[in-house]
Amino acid sequence: MDRSKENGRARNAGAWLRREVLPLAVMLLLLGTARASFANHYHVPSGSMQPTLQAGDRVVVDMSAYGLRVPFTRHVLVERGRPQRGDVVVFASPRDGTRLIKRVVAVAGDRVELYDGRLSINGLPLADADGGEAERFGARVARLDLADGGGPDIPGVVVPPGHVLVLGDHRGDSVDGRWFGFVEADALYARAVAVYWRRGEGPGWQRL
């Protein structure tokens, strides 16, 4: 075999790999890193967050809301903020690892009581004064679905350091912190920003 021809084919193959395959691989790596570290989307699987989120909603989530992390890890490179009461967050269930979306209702040090689906934090009821089915987390208002009751009560617990308590807005039909306990704050890997697609309505932008 003509060794010069063989070497030429090898050089051509190497040049093709550098010209065509390498840029594609870099682009895919960058896209994967961006999705893991900055922005992504989430498909809502159930009605546990009704009426805020409906089953089938597609939600934009900010992967860096609580810090810029090494992709696919919990190691924070740059701190950006901490979970706040009222945030809608994505995390893995401490019980079985299922990806969930719920609302942070209490942070470390808060004393929580929940009766008939209505919250009190540090002795202050969050519901509107008229007893309506809405709770105020500062400027953020969470509408509740109590059509199936309030679910299990919380007689009074204090959120431990480094943790949060998450609940669904559909209080009578949500597997949440009442079932699997507190969630580590560092385990929250995204904050939901807005619904960008709702089944039956199509595209839109409903901030959360």
SS3 labels along 103-123: EEEEECCCEEEEECCEEEECC
Percent of the chain that is helix, strand, coil (3-state, to 5):
20, 35, 45
Angle 204-102-38 (CA atoms, 0-180°, nearest 5)? 60
102 is catalytic: yes
Residue 85, classified by CB atoms within 10 Å of its CB into exposed (0-12), middle (13-18) or buried (19+), is: buried
What are the tokens at 75? 């190691």
Enter the pTM of the model.
Answer: 0.78
Among the listed residues 37, 64, 93, 102, the single catalytic one is 102
* pLDDT, tens digit only, all 208 positions of the chain: 455 555 555 555 555 545 554 444 433 343 343 344 344 778 999 999 999 999 999 998 988 888 666 555 566 665 768 999 999 999 999 999 999 999 999 999 999 999 999 999 999 999 876 667 899 999 899 999 999 999 999 999 999 999 999 999 999 999 999 999 999 999 998 999 999 999 889 898 999 9
48 is catalytic: yes
